[in-house]
Amino acid sequence: MISSINPVVAEPLTECADKLAELPAGTAISRQAALRLIRCADDDLPALLAAARSARDHFKPGMITYSRKVFLPLTNLCRDYCGYCTFRRDPAQAGAHTMTPDEVLTVARAGEKLGCTEALFSLGDKPELLFPEMRDTLRRLGYKSTLHYLEAMCELILRETTLLPHPNPGLLGAEWIERLSVVSPSMGLMLESTNAALLARGAAHDNAPDKAPAKRLHMIEEAGKQRVPFTTGLLIGIGETAEDRVETLLAIRDLHQRYGHVQEVIVQNFRAKPTIPMANAPEPNEGEMLRAVAVARLLMPNVNIQAPPNLNAPYYEDLLDAGINDWGGISPLTPDYINPESPWPHLEQLRVRTEKKGLQLRQRLPVYPEFLPSLEARPALLKQRLECARDVEGLVPRKGSGVA
């Protein structure tokens, strides 16, 4: 059962930042309040942040988690062309690559030695629908589709290593959610934004059919029906408004209220890079990021809220003041292939900067502790791997380094 996650309880109208101190712990703010707070004046920001921190401390006192992972870019071919993406390639482009099973295992085993517990599969969406070269590659590897190949690689990781797969393969239908849930405890898809205008010509999702918000909401709902612990979130700075950010968070909240399966909401900021169509688009500033994180926390006080430290250097620890309780996946081995210009912080640095805020850093699995009971009906191999990887708290056992 996923019912151990408390749903949002009530929605008092709290439109003024200075009234937030009166908000009972664990209570969610209303849509109207969120719309006002996400545009609050600088003078009101400290009150907003204090309320968000207080909600986080009520939900998970004293602890910030992260997942030590290897990043496995199974293929960087993709049929979509998002305006902010540096990851994707066409087959003839330099750097186009589909990993072989040997490459997958080599990286996973190296990560195992460094104490990683998550194998994050991040890949382009259905490249074989657009590229005959990908169809040839899959034929050579012996698979009908990228998803068949992904399923086999998740199973390989489970069988041959102690890592737990967390696939991020783009849009999935009901059948593939079910199939991948047999070989992974959790999965993810960023909702990104509910603003369908981003699909218009020249916008961030022009020529990215898999980014249609309705399709992504449908997948997140399907994962909920199947009780799959699910990671999602929003991208800020891709052409949406502050109000769109609130609507996106509300859509996630609505699905979580209905199905209780959203294990984590990521608030991710756009970073400009010279090679992308959006090279000259403005990046969201720190104030926007803090407001978005704090409003996410207050809309969903009992949900894990994450923001990536590498995309928020040098001020990333300020995000702790806005109510996050997770740093997401950090790799001691592989780069962030999605944002290669933004190295992950050294884990020791992350620990020191987290502790300076009076919080303890703990390593978690790709699935959050409160969702482990929902995996009881999963196949024996997956359950066995989970049992070996967790401690009594559902986290990765401490190893004395202080970081785990």
Residues in touch with ligand SF4 (CB under 6 A): 78, 80-82, 85, 87-88, 124-125, 170, 208, 210
DSSP 27: P
Q: Give the integer Cα–Cα distance in Å for 131 and 90.
A: 8
Cis peptide before 73 (omega within 30 of 0): no
As measured in angstroms, the least distance from the Cβ of 228 to ligand SF4 is: 20
For the bound state, the minimum distance from the C-beta of residue 90 to ligand SF4, rounded and expressed in Å, comes to 11
Choice between 85 and 395, CB closer to ligand SF4: 85
C-beta closer to ligand SF4: residue 72 or 322:
72
* CB 332 within 8 Å of CB 116: yes
Kindly state the smallest distance separating residue 78's Cβ from ligand SF4, in Å: 3
- Shortest distance, position 206 Cβ to ligand SF4, whole Å: 11
Q: Which is nearer to ligand SF4, 81 or 143 (CB)?
A: 81
Q: Which is nearer to ligand SF4, 37 or 177 (CB)?
A: 177
Least CB distance to ligand SF4 at residue 275 (A) = 13
Q: Which is nearer to ligand SF4, 56 or 88 (CB)?
A: 88
Alpha helices in 193-285 (DSSP H): 213-225, 242-259
Q: Is residue 221 within 8 Å of 189, Cβ to Cβ? A: no
Least spacing, CB of residue 87 vs ligand SF4, in Å = 5
Q: Which of 203, 214, 217, 237 is nearest to 81 (CA)?
A: 203
CB atoms within 10 A of CB 17: 22
* Residue in 230, 138, 252 with CA at minimum distance from that of residue 184: 230
Helix axes 146-160, 132-141, angle to 10 degrees: 40
Q: Which is nearer to ligand SF4, 80 or 326 (CB)?
A: 80
340 residue type, one letter:
P
